[in-house]
Amino acid sequence: MLLFLLLVFLPTVPIETEVVKTLADCPGFFVNDTPPEIPNILVGGNISNKTRYKVICQTFEDIKRFLTLYDTENKIPVFSAYRFTGAEEGGKRPGSPWKIEPQLDSNKDDKNMRELENNYQALDSDYMNNLIYTRGHLYPSCHAPDREAQRSTFTLTNAVPQVESFNSGSWARMERQTKGFMEKECINDSRTEAFVVTGAEPDNTNNCHGATNDRPSTNNHKDDSTYHVYHH
């Protein structure tokens, strides 16, 4: 198995997605369905605090596209995990609106992402008036295999706050370089295949201008993100 690790400083459309109880309820996004070990959060495949950390099986057009472990306290994803099989060639980045996950706030709600006032996740409005931070993909749309998969990445449960110059600069280059590496090195029986886990680490000492203590992702952030790429 090859391990590739890179560290760097870092109108609503319905998409069917689902908050599930365990990582095992959304299989297919880790090598041998074995998730990473994250001290105090995820150990031996078990989530330490299921009230705070939620598993989202990100589904679009009845296809499970990727998995996100979401931190409802910091209101950012811990990580998004996906299987890379090659990316859509050419074409522009889809102009998809950003969506949220209503089931994070009420497990009685339906599976469709929509606009919502809530307590447990970031909203688009948290970014709209912020002059410093922008939405940074963990599962980048440029790694998705087709147009529908690209559209599925535009959910705020798959985004962390990043300084705009970093998001469009260093982070965008990292996405392209990682994509090129996987297309060249991660070949299995003549097919491209890699399992990717991309995560972010919050920093409780760094508060955004204009953010309030009970609001989002941008309240607790750190421009540190990690790519883990597995191939076997």
Give the residues across from 38 on adjacent strands.
42
Is the pLDDT reported for residue 115 higher than 80? Answer: no
In a domain, 213, yes or no: no
pLDDT tens for 178-222 read 999 999 999 988 899 999 999 987 765 544 333 333 444 444 444
In a domain, 115, yes or no: yes
CA distance 186 to 62: 27
Residue 16's pLDDT is what? 58
In a domain, 182, yes or no: yes
pTM here is 0.81
pLDDT tens for 36-70 read 999 999 999 999 999 999 999 998 888 899 999 99
Count of domains observed in the chain:
1
The DSSP secondary-structure symbol of 94 reads: P
In a domain, 2, yes or no: no
In a domain, 214, yes or no: no
In a domain, 6, yes or no: no
In the predicted model, what is the mean pLDDT of the chain?
Answer: 79
Q: Pairing between strand 194-200 and 2-9? A: unpaired
The pair of structure tokens assigned to 18 is 């689902």
In a domain, 218, yes or no: no
| pLDDT-wise least confident of 23-32, 113-122, 134-143, 220-229 | 220-229
Range of the domain at 65: 19-203+223-230
Is the pLDDT reported for residue 7 higher than 60? Answer: no
In a domain, 7, yes or no: no
CATH of the domain at 48: 3.40.570
